[in-house]
Structure 1
Amino acid sequence: MIRRLARTGAVLATASLLLTACSGTSDDTKPKTAPSRHPVFDQKLDRQMFLAVRETQKAGSASFTQTLTLETKKGKAVQTLEGRLDFAKNTGDANIRWKVPKKFSDAAKDAILGRAPGRANADAAGRFLVDGRNITYRAGSSDYWLRYGYGDYDHSQKTLDQLRGTEAPVGGTLLEGLGGAEAKSRQGANYQAEVDSEPLWEMLPGEISEQLTSEMYTPGVARTKKVALTVSLDRQGRVTRVRADLSRMLGKKGSLFSDATSLTMELVLHEHGRSKPAGGTDGGKVLDAAGTVRSIHDVKAGHCIDFSTGQRDVELVVDVPCAKPHDGRVFAQATYGGHAYPGRSAAKSQASRACNRSYGRVSDDWTADSADENSYWYMWSGEYDWQQDGKGRTTCYVVTAKGAA
């Protein structure tokens, strides 16, 4: 009995030692979990703007509103750009509209809105859709869309190119260039930063940039100054607000905006990851720009035209059916060859005589819907076009009240 109890006691003692040993080993070797680092806030300050843009893109989508405000002694000109960004699919949509004070000079309005000869200014509002292949544009005065492929427009005009972004599907927002900005200070999720003026200069609409001082940025010259930014992020490090003060770009001698007191741009992003997909054409008719947008000099006499092409080139028009609402109607074309460019005054006089002769001869059907009775307009080749074409051209047209058909 004693021998059996001893064996039992020995076995129990051994088991107890084993349990004690296992328990001690587990406590001493258990790995400790390192605190996770924030993808933006815990990184180096000079990289945080770049990383914030990347976190914004990782959200997959966002809605945005951006305002560009030019404040002058005659009032404020404000451009509002708002829409949706789908980073995952590289698509986006936006509505654009301008409010321009009536007190602005005609030349200042032309610089902001662009010209449509005979209708004063181009549309102050429009809508566009952007994807990897096309930019689809609808003017505020049109009931159809124009679809531009990459090779369907003049890239030197940069107007449509501005609509295609590099950091976001829709261009022209303060996301462009933000990845290259440098944060100077941070308080919580709010930053003071600086960015080269070049990307902001390039995204300014219309001829506004031509009215700004070249001391900030000269295209093609490696000399650029900084623009101050204020930036706000959310808890995830995604961009929610960016404000740029571009007032240092003002002050160009002889500028149309010589009385301007400030120029600012502000972007607000929201609904990160929850924004609705980019919209479509809502059933509206879509025209291929390659087949309908052309120089007014290439429109046949008797055809009807719209002036709003989405590009800031006064000679470009949309060739549309006369049975539909239209902006004007071409009633004559004239060509001059065999001699060099005669100078602006002589070329204009030549065009005026040609259109005056034609106006009295054409069918009343081609001029009856003119908005101003017994009046017409004409365009003629400038020196560059005359030399490029080897000839001069004149186009005569009447301007109709929108809705005429």
Structure 2
Amino acid sequence: MIRRLARTGAVLAAASLLLTACSGGGNDSAPKAAPTRHPVFDQKLDRQMFLALRQSQKAGSASFTQTLTLTTRKGKAVQTLQGRLDFARNTGDATVRWKVPEQYSDAAKDLLLGRAPGRSNADALGRFLVDGQHITYRAGSADYWLRYAGGDYDASRRTLDKLRGTEAAVGGTLLEALGGAEATSRQGGNYQANVPLDPVWNMLPGELSEQLTSESYTPGVSRTKRVPLTASLDDQGRFTRVRADLSGMLAKKGGFFAGATSLTVDLELSGYGRSKPDTRADGQILDAAGTVRLIHQVKPGHCVDFSTGQRDIELVADIPCAKPHDGRVFAQTTFGGHAYPGRSAAKAQATESCRGVFDRVPGAWTAESDEKRSYWYMWSSEYDWQQDRKGRATCYVVTARGQA
């Protein structure tokens, strides 16, 4: 009995050793966790541009510099748009600057910079703050900001609307087009891609696109047209550099920029997660709804600035004359009771009207003229004359910039 029990114990001990060995072997052969897929680089190539945009926004904030360069026989016109974006809070700030060659025609400068009545061009410098409710704009020559709410401007003109983006608070950048970009090849973090024309067309400043576009690149009609794009991403799949080459859309004939050789847009992004936009204007804020109006609505004796951010020659900021200002209205006249007489006749009526009243208004209203006894006037277009069933003339002097 004793010997038999010993043998049983030996068998049990061996079985225990076998079980221990089997248990160890089971741990070595357990399935390992699958490696984490990169949110951009490990996805389908044709979706990587879209995913890179989302990855960039996921960082929360970023700084940006965008440079638009138009090259012609008369030199390069360059627009620089620089600022900061808070994707999470949908806020942003930016400064826009134009550098335009002196050799460009007045018409070309007007198109790029906008016109200022009685001056060569509108400001080449402007700043703006954007949030969910307002666009706050400050012209380079002004010491105050204009705060626009959604209903305080003509959205059909698209000038201020272009300052508000959909992919970021600040509009007018290539970020607006990257959601529709499609990569065609990749080498490391560098891509060749293309993007639909329409969103790039819509981000161009002012009326530039209308003058540049060739017939084959008509937006809306040429929905299948695409623009070549190059892009660089960082290790986390966020955009660092993007270039769109719009040279293919340049018109070969006609327009102010006939013969232009290239048009490129370069966007650089940096400071992910560390950039904080300005949310407060550094100076006085004027409510645009009570300040910006058509020049024929300004009362005689009131002072005006011509830069409102809307690129509309008839819109001015009606400001106190104690502040530096661009001009002073000295008369408003109307011509009623007859149909539009034609441009030459309407201009002649405005000329005669302003000449007749110039010497009869208070001297303080006209003494500020930057040229002695010189004045300017605006008159109704055919459309305005027909709408109001009468014509108007606004008479004003242009002051030395910054005069109070």
Q: Aligning the two structures, in what range does the TM-score lie when normalised by the shorter sequence?
A: over 0.9
Find the residue that maps to 1:180 and give its secondary structure.
Answer: coil
Q: Provide the residue aligned with 2:23 in structure 1.
A: 22
1:229 Cα deviation (Å)?
Answer: 0.7
1:18 Cα deviation (Å)?
Answer: 3.8
* Native 8 Å contact 2:77 2:98 kept in 1: yes
CA distance in 1, matches of 2:206, 2:224: 21
RMSD: 1.8
CA distance in 1, matches of 2:216, 2:233: 28
Instruction: Give the letter for the 2:21 counterpart.
Output: T
CA distance in 1, matches of 2:336, 2:222: 43
Q: Provide the residue aligned with 1:355 in structure 2.
A: 354
Q: Provide the residue aligned with 1:236 in structure 2.
A: 236
CA distance in 1, matches of 2:355, 2:219: 43
1:17 Cα deviation (Å)?
Answer: 4.0
1:303 Cα deviation (Å)?
Answer: 0.4
Deviations 1:194-224 (Å, cap 9, x if unpaired)? 1121111111112211211342433443545
CA distance in 2, matches of 1:45, 1:21: 46
Find the residue that maps to 1:48 and give its secondary structure.
Answer: helix
Instruction: Give the letter for the 2:177 counterpart.
Output: G
* Native 8 Å contact 2:330 2:395 kept in 1: yes
CA distance in 2, matches of 1:224, 1:134: 34
1:24 Cα deviation (Å)?
Answer: 3.2
Instruction: Give the letter for the 2:305 counterpart.
Output: D
Instruction: Please state if 1:250 is matched with 2:228.
Output: no
CA distance in 2, matches of 1:272, 1:47: 22
CA distance in 1, matches of 2:175, 2:392: 43
Q: Provide the residue aligned with 1:39 in structure 2.
A: 39
CA distance in 1, matches of 2:21, 2:188: 49
* Native 8 Å contact 2:334 2:391 kept in 1: yes
Deviations 1:315-357 (Å, cap 9, x if unpaired)? 0000000011100000000112222211111111111111111
Map 1:3-402 → 2, pairs under 5 A: 12-13=13-14, 15-28=16-29, 30-221=30-221, 223-275=223-275, 277-402=276-401
1:388 Cα deviation (Å)?
Answer: 1.8
* Native 8 Å contact 2:214 2:251 kept in 1: no
Deviations 1:376-405 (Å, cap 9, x if unpaired)? 001111011112222211110000012221
1:282 Cα deviation (Å)?
Answer: 4.6
CA distance in 2, matches of 1:262, 1:31: 57
CA distance in 1, matches of 2:39, 2:249: 34
CA distance in 1, matches of 2:173, 2:105: 27
Deviations 1:241-279 (Å, cap 9, x if unpaired)? 11111111222422111132111111011111222x111
Deviations 1:106-156 (Å, cap 9, x if unpaired)? 111001100001121000001001111111100000111111111110111
- Ranges in structure 2 where 5+ consecutive residues have no aligned partner: none
* Native 8 Å contact 2:79 2:99 kept in 1: yes
CA distance in 2, matches of 1:250, 1:11: 90
CA distance in 1, matches of 2:279, 2:42: 40
- Ranges in structure 1 where 5+ consecutive residues have no aligned partner: none
User: Relative to 1, partners in 2 of residues 1:291 and 1:249: Cα closer, same or farther, differing over 3 Å?
Assistant: same
Instruction: Give the letter for the 1:138 counterpart.
Output: R
CA distance in 1, matches of 2:311, 2:121: 11
User: Relative to 1, partners in 2 of residues 1:82 and 1:53: Cα closer, same or farther, differing over 3 Å?
Assistant: same
CA distance in 2, matches of 1:49, 1:397: 53
1:10 Cα deviation (Å)?
Answer: 6.2
CA distance in 1, matches of 2:337, 2:160: 36
TM-score by length of 2: 0.95
CA distance in 2, matches of 1:22, 1:84: 59
* Native 8 Å contact 1:173 1:203 kept in 2: yes
CA distance in 2, matches of 1:215, 1:186: 32
1:100 Cα deviation (Å)?
Answer: 0.6
Find the residue that maps to 1:266 and give its secondary structure.
Answer: strand
Find the residue that maps to 1:26 and give its secondary structure.
Answer: helix
Instruction: Give the letter for the 2:320 counterpart.
Output: P
Identity of aligned residues (%): 71
* Native 8 Å contact 1:218 1:224 kept in 2: no
CA distance in 2, matches of 1:299, 1:90: 36
CA distance in 2, matches of 1:41, 1:21: 41
CA distance in 2, matches of 1:97, 1:137: 14
Instruction: Give the letter for the 2:381 counterpart.
Output: G
1:37 Cα deviation (Å)?
Answer: 1.3
Instruction: Give the letter for the 1:332 counterpart.
Output: A
User: Relative to 1, partners in 2 of residues 1:225 and 1:263: Cα closer, same or farther, differing over 3 Å?
Assistant: same
* Native 8 Å contact 1:211 1:252 kept in 2: no
CA distance in 1, matches of 2:122, 2:280: 21
1:27 Cα deviation (Å)?
Answer: 3.1
